[in-house]
Amino acid sequence: MPSLQAITTIGSGFAERTDPGALVIGPTGVALSKDGSTLYVADSLRNRIQAISNPVSRVTTAHLGTTLTHGGSLNDPLGLALAVNGDILAANGNNGYLTEITPAGQQISKTLLDSSGAPPGAGALFGLVDVNSRSLYYVDDATNTLNLLQ
């Protein structure tokens, strides 16, 4: 049987708060770069994406890491995934958009995912899962569905 051997905290100090609509707001989605050199963290409360270097080999906390990008098309980033080209995909909880960000931090596109007719946002988009590098599953909590973006 597998057993836990050790725990290393690689990021810390992220803000969090309770919220009646979401229970807790704080860091949510994570994505690991293809080469494992950077862990991207969706910092929902501060409306930014943080980057933690050397997450796989780190033995001490990087605290908040460094800010990769903030503001712009981000609007309460929740879920993160890595695109086939290495870009970071962030699902926005407040407006139903997916924001694409280069590893250098440039926000290059936004795509409406939550087109259910329900009011966008309210944390509707939060889970992103890459499927064979050509499509993306995402959760739309406003419609209680799992969707496929190709």
- Is 5 within a domain? no
Cα angle: 96, vertex 86, 128; to 5 degrees: 35
- Is 12 within a domain? no
- Is 49 within a domain? yes
| Region 11-22 average pLDDT | 85
- Is 143 within a domain? yes
- Residue 22 scores a pLDDT above 90: no
User: Is the distance from CB of 32 to CB of 38 less than 8 angstroms?
Assistant: yes
Give me the CATH number covering residue 70. Answer: 2.120.10.30
Q: How far apart are the first and last CA of the chain?
A: 38
Question: 57: domain range?
Answer: 28-149
Strand duo 125-131 + 135-140: pairing:
antiparallel
DSSP string, 30-83: EEE-TTSSEEEEEEGGGTEEEEEESTTT--S--TT-EEEEESTT-SSEEEEEE-
- Is 136 within a domain? yes
- Is 18 within a domain? no
Among 35-39, 84-88, 111-115, name the one with the lowest average pLDDT.
111-115
Q: Which H or E run contains 97?
A: strand 97-101
**pLDDT value at residue 14:** 94
| Region 51-76 average pLDDT | 96
Q: Is this model's pTM higher than 0.75 or not?
A: yes
- Residue 129 scores a pLDDT above 70: no
Q: What is the pLDDT of residues 98-124, one digit of tens each?
A: 899 999 999 999 988 766 655 555 566
Q: Which H or E run contains 127?
A: strand 125-131
Q: What whole-number percentage of the chain has pLDDT above 90?
A: 51
Instruction: Give me the sign of the Cα torsion angle 62, 123, 47, 53.
Output: positive
- Residue 55 scores a pLDDT above 90: yes
- Number of domains composing the chain: 1
- Is 23 within a domain? no
**pLDDT value at residue 18:** 87
- Is 6 within a domain? no
**pLDDT value at residue 21:** 67
**pLDDT value at residue 78:** 86
For the stretch 68-81, what's the b/e string if a residue is b when 16 or more beta carbons lie within 10 angstroms of its beta carbon?
Answer: bbeeebbbbbbbbb
